[in-house]
Amino acid sequence: MQHKLRRYFKLYMICLRTLFISETAYRLNFVLGMIITFISNILFPLVTLLIYANGQSFPGWNFWQVLLIQSIFTISTGISNTFFAGIFWETNANIKNGSFEVILLKPVNPLFFIMATTFNFQGIAYIIGGFIMFALSAAHCAVWTVSGVLNFLLFGTGGIFVMLGIELIMSATSFKWIGNSRIPEIFDSIKQFAKYPMTIFPSLAKGICTFILPVAAVAFMPASALMGKTQVSFYSTLIPCAVFAGIGFLLYFKMIKLYESAGG
């Protein structure tokens, strides 16, 4: 087992090095892509700033508290874009082109291979932008306690599980709805709820975002933990987070087993 893990880690690092060399072959394009991604993140909170600048607000939340939620959402999105987002597009493209069996013939786990070969370096700019917003907002509203930080990490991990589950479920649908590039738009619309405090939504929407598609764990719950607003009910959301990711894995590998190549 240990030997297998070392082998996979070595393969992953080789893939990263190869991708980095490929990405930086056109250095200006690479740098501009990073800068544009970074700037787009800095401009992201402008809508929230305009709302509060005009005397409006989200009930019960000040500007810095909402910005903290949005900064954590940006970090989570950046992690997803860096490590997971390529799963759907690579799976979708290979199925559409009839070349997915080439991946299956490789002597490694197909999901690992796809993740290793679709690492997105521009997603790192997303993460950096998110951490800058996080530092600014946390300085104004975070309550730094050991339990708060631990809960932040716990709920944040649950949120990453949700993001991974979304990518896997989207990718699994590619085996049935071949070439459907609109699927991410549906899930992206759902993820938009994670940008804002869950308390502003109706009970039905809040329940869906907490227990069915638990995007509340992506940003709202980790931010609440840092602000000392953790509720006992938050811990029950960790179960749907794990289940959601588990369903994503099971569904993805189930569809791989049912996959028939273009020649089949």
Do residues 143 and 64 touch, judged by C-beta distance below 8 A? no
- Assigned domain for 17 exists: no
**Does the residue 6 lie in any domain?**
no
**125 closest CA partner among 164, 72, 79:** 79
Q: Is residue 248 part of a domain?
A: yes
Residue 182 domain-assigned (yes or no): yes
Instruction: Read off the pLDDT of each residue in 27-46 and give the average, rounded to a whole number.
Output: 84
Residue 263: pLDDT band (50, 70, 90) is: low
Q: What is the C-alpha separation between 235 and 155, in angstroms, rounded?
A: 8
Res. 146: pLDDT tops 80:
yes
The domain of 85 spans 32-258
- What is the predicted pLDDT for the residue at 194? 92
pTM: predicted TM-score of the whole model, two decimal places: 0.92
7 in any annotated domain:
no
Q: Which residue is it, tokens 């493209």?
A: 93
Confidence of residue 262 (pLDDT cuts 50, 70, 90): low
CA–CA gap between residue 69 and residue 223 (Å, rounded): 5
Q: Is 237 within a domain?
A: yes
Place of tokens 């000392």: 228
Do the domain assignments include residue 102? yes
Domain membership flag for residue 18: no
Cβ–Cβ < 8 Å for 5, 110: no
Instruction: Report the distance separating Cα 177 and Cα 172, nearest Å.
Output: 9
Within the chain, how many helices (H) and strands (E) appear?
A: 13, 0
User: Mean pLDDT, to the nearest integer, of 126-145?
Assistant: 91
Domain tally, the chain: 1
Question: In whole numbers, what is the pLDDT of the chain averaged over residues?
Answer: 90
- Answer yes or no: are the C-beta atoms of 164 and 84 closer than 8 Å: yes
Q: Average the pLDDT over 169-189 and give the result.
A: 83
Two tokens, residue 45? 């909170």
Q: Tens digit of pLDDT for each residue in 191-203? A: 889 999 999 999 9
Asked whether residue 264 carries a pLDDT value surpassing 60, the answer given is no
Indicate whether 15 pLDDT > 50: yes
Confidence check: pLDDT of 137 > 60: yes
